[in-house]
Amino acid sequence: MALRIPKGTQMLKDGYKHLQGVDEAVLRNIAAVHDLSEITRTSFGPNGRNKIIINHMEKLFVTNDAATIVRELEVVHPAAKLLVMASQQQEAEMGDNSNLVSIIAGELLQKAESLLRMGLHPSDIVQGYEVALHKALEILEELSVDEVKKLHSKEDLIKAVHTAIASKQYGNEDMLTELVCDAALAVMPKEAANFNVDSIRIVKIMGSSLYESRVVKGMVFGRSPEGVITNAKKAKIAIFTCPLDIAQTETKGTVLIHNANEMLDFTKGEEKQMENMLKSIADAGVKVVVTGNTVGDLALHYLNRFGIMVVKVLSKFDLRRLCRVTGATALARVGAPMAEEMGYCDIVESVEIGGDRVTVFRQEEEITKTATIVIRGATQNHLDDVERALDDGVNVIKALVKDPRLVPGAGASEMELLKRLLAVGEKTPGLNQHSIKKFAEAFEVVPRTLAENAGIDATEIISKLYASHHADDSGVMGVDIESENNGLIDAHGAKIYDVLAAKSHAIRLATETAITVLRVDQLIMSKAAGGPVAPKKQQHWDED
C-alpha cells in the first residue's frame, strides 16, 4: 500500500507564526512603531512631560530624555526594535535629538499607511521617500542662518548649547548652559577638533538646590581620602588596580607554631614585607596613592607613617580617566613605580561640598585636561535627569566640532523643509509625487508637538506657520511656547538654534528606519525556546 502524502506540506516545524501581506505584516509594523514614537512624542521639547519607568531590576527612572526612555523599555516587537536601534545610534553619534528620530520615523510610517490604503505599492513609497530624503538634506544645508565661529568663545558656545538644555530642563537652562560652557572652555584644547567629551565629568551630590552647582577644574571624587593625610601639593602619584593589602594565598596553608616567639616572628615577617613594599613606594617620591580596590588596615598604618595620601576610586572608568589626567600608568602589582609609570598633579585636596567631603585632583599650571560639574539637588532622580541634560549640552559641542552651522529651532526649519519639499513634490511627475508630498507633511509633526506639549491650540499655530512661511522666504518663524507673541516667534532673533549636523543625522536615520519597516512584507517567528512551564506547587492556604 502506497504512503498517503498529506495535503498542504508543512515546511516549518510546529509553533511558527507566519504573518504576511499588507494587512498582516506592513500595517501591524507601522502601528507598533507609531505606538513607540507616541510614547516619546509627549516628552518632546521644553514642555515635554516626564515618564516614570521602572525597569526589570526595579530601578526607578523619572525622565523626559527619549534615549533613556527607549533604552529602559523592553521592546519586543521586531519592527519597533528597529526604531530603538536608530534612536540609540543617534544618541551614540550625536548625543542629542534621539527624540526627533523616533517622532519623524513614526510620522513617516503613519503617512505611508494612508498611501498604502490608497493602493500604492510599498516599493513606490520607498522610492519616493529616498528621493525626498536626498532633497530634504540639500534644503537643510540652505537653511543655515548662523554658525559657531569660535569654539573658544563662551558667547558662541552658549548660542548653540542653550536650546539643547532648554528642551530638557526648561527654566534652569541659563544656569546649566553656563556650567556646560565653563567646563568645556576649561578643557578645550588649542585645536578644537581634538575636543573630547570624556574630559567633562559630572558628579552628583545630594542636598541643597540646583543653584549651588558649580564647575571644578580637575577631577572630583565623591569620597574623602582614606588615611589621615588629606592634601598634597606638587605630588607624584602612583595608581594601582590591585588591593593594598597582605596577599592571601590561593590555597589554605596550615602553619605549625611551637611557641610564642614563633607566633610573633610569623606576624612580624608579614609586617616587615608590607613595610618594605610601601617604603619603596615612599622612597620613589610618591606623595599620593590611588587604588581601585581595598586598602588593608596594616597598609593604611604604614602609608600614614610615610606621609602618603590614600584615595580609593572604585569605578574603573574613573581610574582610567585619572590615569589620563595625571599621566600615570595603572599598576596591577603593589611596588615602587618606575619614573614613567608615575603621574603628577599640582594639588590634591579634600574639600567640603554641602556637608560631604570630596577629593579634588587639580592642575594649576597647565590647561587642565578635565573639568568636573558638581550638581546639587533634592532627589537622586532629579540629579540623574539634570545629568542627562548636561550630557546633551556637552554632546552639542562635540557636534559643533564636526560642523559649526546652526539652523533655526522651535520647529521653524521643519516648516521651511515642509514648504520647499511640497514644491518639489508638485513638480515631480509619476507616482513619486505622492510619497514626496507625504514625506514633506510628516515634518509638520515637530511644530504640532511643540504646540500640543505647551498646551496651545496646535491647529491654529500650524495654520499661522503655513501663512508666515509662504509669505516670507527667510524660514525663521517657529512656535512660541510662551504664546505671548501671537503664538509665533522669530527663532533667529530669539537665538533658538538647532545644530545642523545633529538634525540632518536624525532625519537620515528616521527615514532609513521608516524605509526598512516598509520593505518588510512577511514576519516569520519561531516558537520561543524551552519546554512548557512547570506548574507551581500547591501552597498551603496559610502560607500566604
3-class secondary structure per residue, 395-454: HHHHHHHHCCEEEECCCHHHHHHHHHHHHHHHHCCCCHHHHHHHHHHHCCHHHHHHHHHC
How confident is residue 80, by pLDDT bands cut at 50, 70 and 90? confident
How confident is residue 423, by pLDDT bands cut at 50, 70 and 90? confident
Average pLDDT of span 55-59: 82
pLDDT tens for each residue of 461-499: 888 888 888 887 777 788 877 766 567 777 777 788 888
What are the residue ranges spanned by the domains of the chain?
17-146+408-525, 150-215+370-403, 219-248+265-367
pTM, full prediction = 0.79
483 compared with 104, residue with greater pLDDT: 104
pLDDT score at 441: 86
Assign 285 to helix, strand or coil. Answer: coil
Mean of all residue pLDDT scores within the chain:
80
User: Looking at the domain 219-248+265-367, which fold is it?
Assistant: GroEL (3.50.7)
Q: Grid coordinates in use for 278?
A: 610601601
What b-and-e string marks burial along 43-65, b requiring 16 or more CB atoms within 10 Å of the CB?
bbbbbbeebebeeeeeeebebbb
Average pLDDT of span 216-227: 78
pLDDT tens for each residue of 425-470: 888 888 888 888 888 888 888 888 888 888 888 888 888 888 888 8
pLDDT score at 211: 84
pLDDT score at 241: 82
pLDDT tens for each residue of 195-210: 777 788 888 888 778 8
> In terms of Cα–Cα distance, which of 47, 30, 45 is closest to 122?
30
pLDDT score at 314: 81
Asked whether the predicted pLDDT for residue 123 surpasses 80, the reply is yes
Asked whether the predicted pLDDT for residue 226 surpasses 60, the reply is yes
Which residues are paired to 479 by β-bridges? 488
Q: Grid coordinates in use for 200?
A: 567633562
Asked whether the predicted pLDDT for residue 533 surpasses 70, the reply is no
Q: How many whole angstroms separate alpha carbon 131 and alpha carbon 439?
A: 10
pLDDT tens for each residue of 320-368: 888 877 778 888 877 777 878 888 888 888 877 777 778 888 776 665 6
380-402 vs 154-166: helix crossing angle, rounded to 10: 130
Which residues are paired to 236 by β-bridges? 286, 344
Q: How many whole angstroms separate alpha carbon 517 and alpha carbon 507?
A: 16
User: Looking at the domain 17-146+408-525, which fold is it?
Assistant: GROEL; domain 1 (1.10.560)
How confident is residue 1, by pLDDT bands cut at 50, 70 and 90? very low
> In terms of Cα–Cα distance, which of 358, 402, 71 is closest to 201?
358
Q: Grid coordinates in use for 534?
A: 512547570
Its sign, for the CA torsion 380, 384, 385, 390, is: positive
Average pLDDT of span 2-31: 68
Asked whether the predicted pLDDT for residue 146 surpasses 60, the reply is yes
> In terms of Cα–Cα distance, which of 90, 61, 51 is closest to 392?
90
Matching fold, domains 17-146+408-525 and 150-215+370-403: no
CA trace torsion 523, 528, 529, 533 (10° rounding): -170
Asked whether the predicted pLDDT for residue 539 surpasses 70, the reply is no
Q: Which CATH superfamily hosts domain 150-215+370-403? A: TCP-1-like chaperonin intermediate domain (3.30.260.10)
